[in-house]
Amino acid sequence: MRILQAILLLSSLISTLSTGKGPVGLTTITQRYALIADSSLDALLIIDVEMGGIVGHLILHDRQYDLSGSDYDKVVGGKWSDVDKDGWMDPTGVSTCPSCNFVFVTSSKLKQFYKIRLDRPLKEMANNDDGSADFSSFSQSEWSAITAWPDATSTERNLR
């Protein structure tokens, strides 16, 4: 219950500080850590919900697509329609499991979602043998697009 309260508090605080879309997906890693998909940053963030703060991150676009000052101001101001976000993943949700060495990310990019490969499960990164957490390898994770459904304009439906 405590972790849920901390997450709700964090989400409320973030939403009052900006008018962009911000955190749009969340999954717990442990009682202390949560993984958040943030569309304003086009990133996944690992949050320490007990101590506060970001302890790991993964930028989801090639850095050549970083926004310039004026575009960034528009995004933070919630004016997404005025910004060219080509090259951005634009996450809408995130999911993993305690023993999974991958993370799934849903996207607003029509029919695609993404699989991010991890060198070890996030729960293991949070619980090292010495009791510490080390999410340093998370920022180096690689992802691939997965097209799981047929073309949205197609009449053919391959759902099983």
pLDDT of 32: 94
Lowest model confidence (mean pLDDT) among 12-16, 43-47, 85-89, 141-145? 12-16
Question: How far is it, in rounded angstroms, from Cα 54 to Cα 138?
Answer: 12
Residues 6+ apart with CB under 8 A from 86: 65
Task: Check pLDDT > 60 for residue 137.
Answer: yes
Which DSSP helix (H) or strand (E) runs through 35?
Answer: strand 33-38
Whether the predicted model's global pTM rises above the 0.85 cut: no
Task: Check pLDDT > 60 for residue 16.
Answer: no
Q: Which of 69, 64, 55, 57 is nearest to 88 (CA)?
A: 64
pLDDT tens per residue across span 65-122: 776 665 555 555 455 555 556 777 888 899 999 999 999 999 887 567 899 999 999 9
Side-chain-facing half-sphere of 148: CA atoms under 13 Å: 13
Per-residue pLDDT averaged across 15-43, rounded?
79
Other C-beta atoms within 10 Å of 88: how many? Answer: 23
pLDDT of 18: 47
Strands 43-48 and 91-95: unpaired
pLDDT of 45: 95
In Å, the largest CA–CA distance within the chain is 55
pLDDT of 19: 47
Query: What sign does the dihedral 99-145-148-21 (CA atoms) show?
Result: positive
